[in-house]
Amino acid sequence: NAGVTQTPKFRVLKTGQSMTLLCAQDMNHEYMYWYRQDPGMGLRLIHYSVGEGTTAKGEVPDGYNVSRLKKQNFLLGLESAAPSQTSVYFCASCNSNQPQHFGDGTRLSIL
Amino acid sequence: RKEVEQDPGPFNVPEGATVAFNCTYSNSASQSFFWYRQDCRKEPKLLMSVYSSGNEDGRFTAQLNRASQYISLLIRDSKLSDSATYLCVDMEYGNKLVFGAGTILRVKS
């Protein structure tokens, strides 16, 4: 039982490049979340999913897309990376009325 | 050993009770700690930061013990609305957050 696994752990991109962050959980959780965490700010919700095949916008969705084709995976995509998207990204998952389980984070730098 | 460890609970307490949670951390160089509260379908909400001198906000008090490498959260006069999961968070060098697994609190009438 690996919990919540995020890949990659680090990445440096150039402005305009695209990439996908992968979140995988092996706990059969229904709910999955993508957050970004920036200095001086708390976690901000980007997108979330309440089940396989569903996604919804969070607080800061612009510039990101997500997909939940399989229950265990939640992908976060950056189509055209911008320096403002330099951040640490956290994925989390849970079932109703249970704590969210967090991944170790992905540090993304965009030059 | 996990970097941030919490007792998962649940802590079941009556209304009005005082309850305390501890959280241990392994990185002796860590400088900043936080307590978040969250429920599954809501994003975590920053409850308070934890400073060396301690921090108090109403019914909530957070303390940091560097010698023993733990932080604590004390809740006085528990309310039903305090029922939640409390996440201990360590901000490591470079502003990366490391989350504990959470402590579940259930306040009952």
Query: Shortest CB distance from A88 goes to which of B39, B87, B95?
Result: B95
A99 versus A84: the higher-pLDDT residue is A84
Q: Which residues of A touch B38 (CB under 8 A)?
A: 99-100
Q: Which residues of B touch A35 (CB under 8 A)?
A: 43
Residue type, B82: D
Report pLDDT for B99. 83
Report pLDDT for A104. 85
Q: Tell me: the pLDDT tens digits for A13-50?
A: 999 999 999 999 999 999 999 999 887 677 888 999 98
Are B97 and A88 within 8 A, CB to CB? yes
Cα–Cα dist A74/A88, whole Å: 16
Report pLDDT for B95. 61
Residue A40 sits at the vertex; the CA angle it makes with B51 and A48, to the nearest 5 degrees, is 115
Q: How far is A96 from chain B (nearest CA, A)?
A: 6
Closest C-alpha to A101, from B101, B41, B8: B101
- pLDDT band, residue A82 (cuts 50/70/90): very high
Query: Shortest CB distance from A105 goes to which of B46, B97, B101?
Result: B97
Q: How far is B70 from chain A (nearest CA, A)?
A: 20
Q: By the CB < 8 Å criterion, does B91 face chain A?
A: no
Are A102 and B99 within 8 A, CB to CB? yes
